[in-house]
A and B are shown apart, each in its own frame.
Chain A
Amino acid sequence: GQNIDQPTEMTATEGAIVQINCTYQTSGFNGLFWYQQHAGEAPTFLSYNVLDGLEEKGRFSSFLSRSKGYSYLLLKELQMKDSASYLCAVYNTDKLIFGTGTRLQVFP
């Protein structure tokens, strides 16, 4: 079957670093996406990894290990506006499969 696991909720303090993990077991793999979704809004694209390693984009970085079926999203210098849900999604053979999302709350 297809399975994508990520923590349901996380909390962190403004200015800190937080790592959101995602593990997956899928029948196929053509890449992994991270999306950000603020409450009541559309998900928006953050990152895409298809090869092992770290992709850095400003305060956000995403890591992938295909052999371990594992990814993480790293958020540095947290800001209040980073409070949102973060969705991990794996591109299986022909479509995206989403995890249930991690709700991150950033406190002052």
Chain B
Amino acid sequence: QSALTQPASVSGSPGQSITISCTGTSRDVGNYNLVSWYQQHPGKAPKLIIFENIKRPSGVSNRFSGSKSANTASLTISGLQAEDEADYYCCSFAGSITWVFGGGTKLTVL
């Protein structure tokens, strides 16, 4: 069960949009519409921002959006703000009560 593949870092200027990819396999990302994304600020617990590929929990800004195609899921953040600077992790259900996380992506807002 290997970790999902994310870019180590991405950056963007305030107001711009960025996309973080998350690549898995046909046994996890490609087999279920159950990718979730988590935001983690330094020293804080992760926070759910996207679930079931595209859904946003109540209270999460609509600047965050998710998508999936085949074995790759993506998180897009539009209208970047300084407060978006954080680590972002994807996670996929992998069957039989197992999950796999991505390695994480550090977002820098320039």
Q: Do A and B come from one complex?
A: no
Q: Which residues of B contact A (CB under 8 A)?
A: none
